[in-house]
A and B are shown apart, each in its own frame.
Chain A
Amino acid sequence: MTYEFHWNVVFQKMPELLNGAFVTLHVSVLAMLLGIVIAILLAIAKMNNSKPFCYVATAWVETARNTPALFQIYMAYFGLGAFGIHLSPYVAVLSALVFINAGYLTETFRGGFQSIPSTQYSASKSLGMNSIQVYRYIILPQMLRRIYHPMTNQFVWSILMSSLGILVGMSELSGTTQRLQSLSFRTLEFFIVAAVMYFIITKLVLISSSLLSRKLFRGEI
């Protein structure tokens, strides 16, 4: 193999790469937060018996689960142009991730809610708790334990999938890597460093998530 590695070029650009990593985290966190809010609404709509809401929620969930993330990003970036809506790369990737996160989390929330036996509700009621207290102290805390790990996985997935920003010229970690390597032609070096950074980011997220869960949830279920 005749390829010679030149790492200096990469290290000189480290601030830019770190900035890209920051944008990656930024878009993933935002996509997660917005996804959670929408998923709560969709889950309520799906469990509700009112037909129109239920249909909208089901259509959303199934589209998000059964089409590729890249398709969602293209839809947001190119497809919406047909309606005169032109999104920036950042907003396009963000909205695609929010769309998919919301779809997957809806099922997570619904499953978590339905996994709490209804007897927990009647037992709490028999102690004189009102409905708000039952949810606040009994149902939601138990639900949170059950959806915590799927939510962590969804967050990691968002971080990895935000790398698709490379394809629409977004300046997150992958896009930044792409731009820098095209200026220097040190493709391997730049992408190896990017790979390591992704690995570190996901590991840090997983470790802090498990530390947090130990602090939040003392009991086992």
Chain B
Amino acid sequence: MNSLFTPLSWNDTGFILTGVMNTVTISVLAIVLGTVLGLIVGFIRAESNKLVNMLFGGLLDVLRSVPLIIQLVLFSTFVGAAGIPLDPFVAGSIVLSLYTMAFMSEVFRSGFESVPVSMQTAARSLGMNHWQTIYHIRLPIGLRAVFPSWLGVALSVIKDSALVSVIGYMELLRTSEQLISRTQQPLEILIGVGIFYFIISYPLSSYGRYVERKMAI
């Protein structure tokens, strides 16, 4: 037996589960924060004038046009250089949430803008005020329309969360990478990782497509 490498065993279960939990934690956190922020920004953009819009638009554009991996490295290096080093989990959560927000805000903006003006006029004619119209008409109708797109972004966040490994966060893929270098059994471990992502992602993406089809009719 080669003493340097030890094969995969049941003792590794805890280690793998930690990786799984970390992937789930940071994904859920980024989806929740990204959704809340995206909702606010999307609403502001749908409501506001051209100048504010362009300002936000430019910022969001940068977040969407620079690879996530570069954003992660830049942010963690930057806070380090600024003298406030952050835990990889915190740094990763911040970057991933902002990245998610950039996509979510576009989703929500298009949702708000898809609600026909005639519906809002109808609501106003019933005596609802501006905020009541937003709360009872634009929000529910706009949100329902964008659900499939929202789910699409959320799913890509789960997959993109794998990249947080570059700044040292022990999510699933980094866990498996370490196991691979110890066991030298890349295929078994990677297939296991792939199955994990697939099991989470496939039912949700199928459901999203189902809803989309139903809404199209």
Contacts and interface: CB of A to CB of B under 8 A. Distances in A.
Interface of A: 1-3, 62-63, 65-71, 74-75, 78-79, 81-83, 156, 160-161, 163-164, 166-167, 174, 177, 187-188, 191-192, 194-195, 198-199, 202-203
Most B C-beta atoms less than 10 A away, residue of A83, A161, A195: A195
28 contacts: A1-B82, A2-B83, A66-B197, A66-B201, A66-B202, A67-B201, A70-B173, A71-B190, A74-B177, A74-B186, A74-B190, A75-B194, A79-B187, A79-B191, A160-B68, A163-B69, A163-B70, A167-B69, A177-B70, A187-B73, A188-B74, A191-B70, A191-B74, A194-B70, A195-B66, A195-B70, A195-B74, A198-B65
A193 B83 CA distance: 22
Contacts of B124: none
Most B C-beta atoms less than 10 A away, residue of A67, A160, A187, A194: A67
A161 B191 CA distance: 21
B211 to A, nearest CB: 16
Interface of B: 62, 65-71, 73-74, 77-78, 81-83, 155, 159-160, 162-163, 165-166, 173, 177, 180, 185-187, 190-191, 193-194, 197-198, 201-202, 205
Contact of A66 (B71, B74, B160, B198): B198
A191 B74 CA distance: 6
B65 A71 contact: no
Nearest to B186: A78
B159 A68 contact: yes
Contacts of B190: 71, 74-75, 78-79
B160 A68 contact: yes
B83 A1 contact: yes
Most B C-beta atoms less than 10 A away, residue of A67, A68, A198: A68
Contacts of B194: 63, 67, 71, 75
B103 to A, nearest CB: 12
B73 A191 contact: yes
A82 B74 CA distance: 35
A177 B74 CA distance: 12
Contacts of A191: 70, 73-74, 77
Going nearest first, the 8 A-B pairs with the smallest beta carbon separation are A163-B67, A66-B201, A82-B187, A68-B159, A78-B186, A3-B81, A68-B162, A202-B65
A166 B69 contact: yes
Contact of A67 (B66, B186, B198): B198
A66 B65 contact: no
